[in-house]
Amino acid sequence: MNTQEVPSYAVFDDYRHHQRVAVVVRWFVLIAWLFLVNYRASLDGTLVALNAMGGALALLNGYVQWRIWKGQPITLRYVYALSAADLAVITAGFGITDRFDNARFVFYYPALLGMSILVTSRFLSFAIVAMVAAAYAAISMTMDPGVSFSLKEEKVLIARIVAMFAVVAGANLLARIDRDLRREAVEAERAQAERNLELQKQAMDAEMAALAERSRIAREIHDGIAQSIYMLSLNLETCADLAERQPGPLRERLQTLVPLAKQTLLETRHYIYDLKPVLSGQQDLATMAQNQVKEFSTVASIRTNLSVVGQPRRVEAAIAAGLYRMLQEALANILKHAQASEAQVTLSFKAGTVELEVRDNGVGFNAEQPGPGYGLDNLRQRAQELSGSCEIVSTSGKGTRVSVTLPAQEVEDEAH
């Protein structure tokens, strides 16, 4: 998984979000620092040094803000560098100005707050604040004007140092809680992704098992039932031919059984193809239509031709399945009702659509009032479900034309 796919809350070595807060706070501290340093101040070496330190810290802060604006990572070295610069500048400022009497000790608190938010190690955070407190205490007690024990100023010093530790402890605790919550979110998302992958694998395994079982059943039907029905239809045709020489009830009964046997054989073979994974992308639509037309022509003894117009292409599985089923149904209607001797199937590939047309030279019917069992509603419903259209034109004695148009975008071949 590349970094573009990782949620921002899952990237623990990029401190841009926390550093953005520290950068804003630092700008306010720097503005206050430079104002207090220069307000009603005399120009001397101390003023120059304090301004130089503030300017250097402003340059560092500006560089980090530029990296944040550019979306560049802010790693731990930037965190350490800026935090060290903050504390060093404040401590140095105390050392060269009024020491303990300097009221700008409050700058320590936002600086330590920013450091402890970014440095999540509790040991390191307390080690840093301990060093800062020790330096501040040493400067306050050893350099003029110093801490007056007679005025009990050591209490003020202790309170300031305790406040430093309190700020660091509170901020560090909040940062650790935030980090722990993010880790829990990452772990939960990872666990969910693993469960999803396992479910997908189980679904694929189940689908493969189902396809294997379908192929097995299809082979059994083809080798057993279909062959028996085929032999039955041949024998019935032979008996019907023999009965032609002796008109009577037997001939009429046999003539009725022959188309029934052919219809049963055709439907059985349809079930075979339905059970096979022919619509899984292993064959293109034109090839499947050719196989279906050939099967129909052989079983029904109706001369049927297929014409393919345009460049054949692979289409979505749902479109291929729907068109294949509608071709089956249209051909089955010809066998059941048309009494046709010839049929023509045309498959046209056009820009954004695929069209199927099935014509026959049969007896036709009144398309406005079709008889029961024609399955016309099924054809129209299938087409509507696939956002397409189905037109049926028929006149008594002049045959029937079924035209289906479905939206069909080309899909890429997949390896099997």
Reported as a single tens digit per residue, the pLDDT across 158-206 is 999 999 999 999 888 888 888 788 788 888 888 888 888 888 888 887 7
The full set of domain ranges for the chain reads 3-196, 302-416
Whether residue 96 has pLDDT greater than 60: yes
Whether residue 368 has pLDDT greater than 80: no
pLDDT reported for residue 76: 75
DSSP string spanning 333-397? HIIIII--SEEEEEEEEETTEEEEEEEE-S----TTSPPTT--HHHHHHHHHHTT-EEEEEE-TT
Question: What stretches of 43-153 show up as alpha helix (H) in DSSP?
Answer: 45-69, 76-95, 108-118, 122-142
Cα 358 to Cα 336: distance, rounded to the nearest angstrom: 15
CA 335 to chain centre: 46
Q: How many CA atoms lie within 13 A of 367 on its CB side?
A: 11
pLDDT reported for residue 145: 86
pLDDT reported for residue 162: 94
Q: Phi and psi (nearest 5°) for 406?
A: -130, 145
Whether residue 358 has pLDDT greater than 50: yes
pLDDT reported for residue 344: 95
What would the two tokens of residue 255 be? 């003539």
* Three-state SS at 98: coil
Who wins on pLDDT, 258 or 74?
74
Query: Which of 37-46, 211-220, 230-239 is the most confident on average?
Result: 37-46
Mean pLDDT of the chain: 80
Cβ pair 63, 78 in contact under 8 A: no
Cα 196 to Cα 379: distance, rounded to the nearest angstrom: 37
Reported as a single tens digit per residue, the pLDDT across 11-38 is 455 567 777 877 888 888 889 888 888 8
- Write 409-412 long-range contacts (CB < 8 A, 24+): 409/315, 409/316, 409/352, 410/313, 410/314, 410/315, 411/314, 411/315, 411/316, 412/314
pLDDT reported for residue 164: 92
* Three-state SS at 402: strand
Cα 163 to Cα 111: distance, rounded to the nearest angstrom: 13
**Which residues sit opposite 303 in a β-bridge?**
342
pTM: 0.45
Across the range 267-272, mean pLDDT stands at 62
Those residues whose C-beta lies under 8 Å from the C-beta of residue 416, and which sit 6 or more positions away, are 280, 281, 282
Cβ pair 400, 364 in contact under 8 A: yes
pLDDT reported for residue 4: 43
pLDDT reported for residue 354: 93
Whether residue 275 has pLDDT greater than 50: no
pLDDT reported for residue 256: 65
Reported as a single tens digit per residue, the pLDDT across 32-64 is 888 888 888 788 888 898 899 889 989 988 988
Torsion of the alpha carbons at 147, 149, 155 and 156, rounded to the nearest 10: -30
CATH topology of domain 302-416: Heat Shock Protein 90 (3.30.565)
DSSP H/E element including 300: helix 285-300
